[in-house]
Amino acid sequence: MEAAAGGGGWDLNSLVAVLTQGEAQLRQLCECMAARSPAEQEKQLVLRAQSCFQTAICMAKAADSDLFQAAAAAAAAAAAASPRSNSGCSANSERALKEQQRKEMCKKRKTLRKWTSRVRVLGSSNGHDDGFNWRKYGKKDILGAKYPRAYFRCTFRNAAGCPAMKQVQRSDDDPFAIDVTYRGDHTCLQSKRPQPGAGAPPALSSEPAEQKQQLLHSLQTSLKVETEGFSSDDQNHNCFSFSSTPASGGVSPPFVSPTTTPESSSFWLSSDFGDLFSAVTPANDYSSYTDFILDSAGFAAASLFDASAFFHDSEI
DNA sequence: TGCATTTGACCATA
DNA sequence: TATGGTCAAATGCA
């Protein structure tokens, strides 16, 4: 796919190629370092640099996707519609651009992957967090539904062109259940895990390891995810997975034991955890701290949460 | 002051 | 034409 990134004489494929080359060289450096048993700090630096490269590659690839193309096409269309200077017709071209983007959005909405999850939050009804940063952009009363539907899009939609969106609606029949409909996969590779000592609550960071194990055990027994719209051969993806590298795919952590049926599974967040997290975190920010707890207890870094790894190929 | 949320209006679709 | 989905100005909050 040839995606001109403006009139600068380069395209995104070239950018991806350069970044990939950089990452490969970094990997070589890593191998060289391994031969002379480097210090832990050096290893961490290389790993972080590698992670940066991988993120940049993914972002470049994301920018190469439809949204970017749509924006470029819209800009081109607007420019073609107003051949005179931008200064004279900026309002018109801006309107044309928005009109074009809206049409592209409507087209894209039909093609975006879509899947639904039902999440139960016992003892707390203040929302749902799935590890991503979402920005609310609308709320709508739905005919026949007791509760309004909230609309969210990925916080990094503008920054990284991430097309992911979700709709959240409280279930009519079960006030503790919320139905979450996702559209599109994240391309932004968000990292939400709070850094120890940089925002992590002292109460948790100073907990004894035994207590953390108990928390994990409690989490294991009280977490249940309910999803809909999965094909029967996708059971492997019906659970949360935390991976240390974005491309490594889902590795099911030992604490998740989803009670899946071919078509549905469900999450339950117990009131214990709701209370615990609400006591130490901003509202709706539980997952950051599950990540933190897991990491503290010795699990692999849970810095990335790839929805496509969890809810795979489940178009409705 | 910057960012997130709210909310009324607008638009596309069935 | 009713309804769902999105936009963007207004508002609130840290």
**What residue spans define the domains of chain A?**
12-63, 66-111, 114-310
Give residue-wise pLDDT tens across range A136-178.
999 998 888 888 899 998 888 777 778 788 888 888 777 778 8
Instruction: Report the distance from CA of residue A137 to the C1' of nucleotide C8 in Å, as an integer.
Output: 10
- Please, what sign has the CA dihedral across residues A273, A276, A279, A281? negative
Residues 106-145 of A with CB under 7 A from strand B: 106-107, 134-140
User: A140: which nucleotide lies closest, measuring CA to C1'?
Assistant: C4
pLDDT of res. A307: 34
Judge if the beta carbon of A144 is closer than 7 A to nucleic acid strand C: yes
pLDDT of res. A275: 32
Residues 116-135 of A with CB under 7 A from strand C: none
Tell me the Ramachandran region of residue A54: left when phi exceeds 0, alpha when psi lies from -120 to 50, beta otherwise.
Answer: alpha
User: A109: which nucleotide lies closest, measuring CA to C1'?
Assistant: C5
pLDDT of res. A186: 75
- Interval A275-293 mean pLDDT: 34
DSSP-derived secondary structure for A228-294? ES--GGGGGGSS---BSSTTS-----TT------SSEEEEEE-HHHHHHHHHHS-TT-HHHHHHHHH
User: A157: which nucleotide lies closest, measuring CA to C1'?
Assistant: C6
Q: Are A186 and A162 in contact (CB under 8 A)?
A: yes
pLDDT of res. A52: 58
Decide if pLDDT at A46 tops 80. no
Instruction: Report the distance from CA of residue A231 to the C1' of nucleotide C2 in Å, as an integer.
Output: 33
Decide if pLDDT at A260 tops 60. no
SS3 A101: helix
* Structure tokens belonging to residue A273: 């955890």
Instruction: Tell me the H-state helices in chain A.
Output: 12-35, 40-63, 66-81, 86-111, 157-160, 202-205, 209-222, 271-280, 286-296, 307-310
User: A153: which nucleotide lies closest, measuring CA to C1'?
Assistant: C6
User: A105: which nucleotide lies closest, measuring CA to C1'?
Assistant: C6
Judge if the beta carbon of A146 is closer than 7 A to nucleic acid strand B: no
Which band of pLDDT confidence, cut at 50, 70 and 90, is reported for residue A121?
low
pLDDT of res. A213: 44
pLDDT of res. A18: 66
Give residue-wise pLDDT tens across range A187-210.
776 543 333 333 233 333 333 344
